[in-house]
Amino acid sequence: MMKAAFDPVALATPFFILTIILEIVLARFRVVKANYETRDTATSLVMGLGSSVAGVLTVGVVFAATVWAYQHRVFTIPMNAAWAWVGIFLLEDLTYYWFHRLSHERRFWWAAHVNHHTSQHYNLSTALRQTWTGGVAGTWLLWLPLAFLGFPPAMIAIQKGISLVYQYWIHTETIRRLPKGFEAVFNTPSHHRVHHARNPIYLDRNYAGILIVWDRLFGTFQPELDAEPCRYGVVHNLGAFNPLRVAFHEWVGIAQDIARSPRHVLGWLFGPPGWSPDGSRDTSRTLKERAGVPVSGFVPARSLVAQADEG
């Protein structure tokens, strides 16, 4: 049986550091394609460190809630059963998909997640640009049903760690495409580049953690198109490297909007990012409509080329 002390992220941290250094060196000698900017990389590293500190401040509450849920479990699922690990792998990955989708489609949770998307570069250091306010935003509550179902808290924590470690290596432009069979099932650098892109066609797509099949199943999959290179960042780029601004700018924006128009508090909090009472701001939907791309469903390469020819 695995011990609760096993932490995949802690074990993988030296690998994270070494591979970032390696990618920087190889890019410098033009062996691989990777764009690094000193201030941007430093911001990502500071955000990663700050996220670890923030996690320590909330881990007690999260752990206590998970243990309480497990004490009221429906079943008792053994950690030493192979089927149980298959089950937690699939259910945790599905939970991550919906957490990630919620974090993009509702402003309150986007405020905690947006910092991960603020870099205009896409490299391995971007993976470390993590939230400082996710614990406060309460998205961890989505994992409690797994404990209610009967998965031990340690098992849930281990699988969440495995998912985070997996998602590290897909933050790169060095790897272009993998074999079609792998791309069909798993999240890959190509799929995740789409997720980080701010092109209208790519907005709110590819929420996967490990398995891209959830996006295919729920209609949020979009392949990377050679005819549409990814442009990274958020719709209106922050253009700042101050970690405090990166971490809190959207929360400040929410507070300012509520103070300006308190009667629309629910819209400011739980509308999609960019929502406004008069529709004057850009949302993912309006940007897609303006660009002439479908709001749902993926666009194949031939359709995009046809649109360009018609234009």
Strand partners, 211: 186
Reference 225, options 267, 269, 177, 266; nearest CA is 177
pLDDT tens per residue across span 126-172: 999 999 999 999 999 999 999 999 999 999 999 999 999 999 999 99
- Is the torsion defined by CA of 276, 282, 288, 291 positive or negative? positive
Whether 282 contacts 235, CB under 8 Å: yes
Q: Give the pLDDT band (50/70/90) at residue 5.
A: low
pLDDT digits (tens, 9 = 90+) for 45-78: 999 999 999 999 999 999 999 999 999 999 999 9
Reported as a pLDDT band with limits 50, 70 and 90, residue 6 is confident
What is the C-alpha to C-alpha distance for residues 222 and 233, in angstroms, rounded to an integer?
17
Among 210, 218, 154, smallest CA distance to 186 is for 210
pLDDT at 1 over 70: no
Q: What is the pLDDT of residues 198-228, one digit of tens each?
A: 999 999 999 999 999 999 999 999 999 999 9
Q: Rounded distance, CA 285 to CA 13, Å?
A: 37
Q: If you average pLDDT over residues 82-97, what whole number do you get?
A: 98
* Two tokens, residue 32: 């691989």
Q: How high is the mean pLDDT of the chain?
A: 93
- Which amino acid makes up residue 304? L
pLDDT category at 239 given cuts 50, 70, 90 is confident
> What number is the average pLDDT over the span 88-92?
98
Report whether 168 contacts 196 (CB < 8 A): no
Give me the amino acid identity at 291: A
Token code pair at residue 62 = 């999260």
Please, what is the angle between helix 8-28 and helix 153-168, to 10°?
0
pLDDT digits (tens, 9 = 90+) for 98-125: 999 999 999 999 999 999 999 999 999 9
Angle (deg, nearest 10), helices 243-260 and 38-71 = 70
pLDDT(298) > 80: no
Percent of the chain with pLDDT over 70: 94
Count CB atoms within 10 A of the CB of residue 32: 17
Nearest to 147 by CA among 67, 58, 91, 90: 67
Name the pLDDT band for 299 (thresholds 50, 70, 90). low
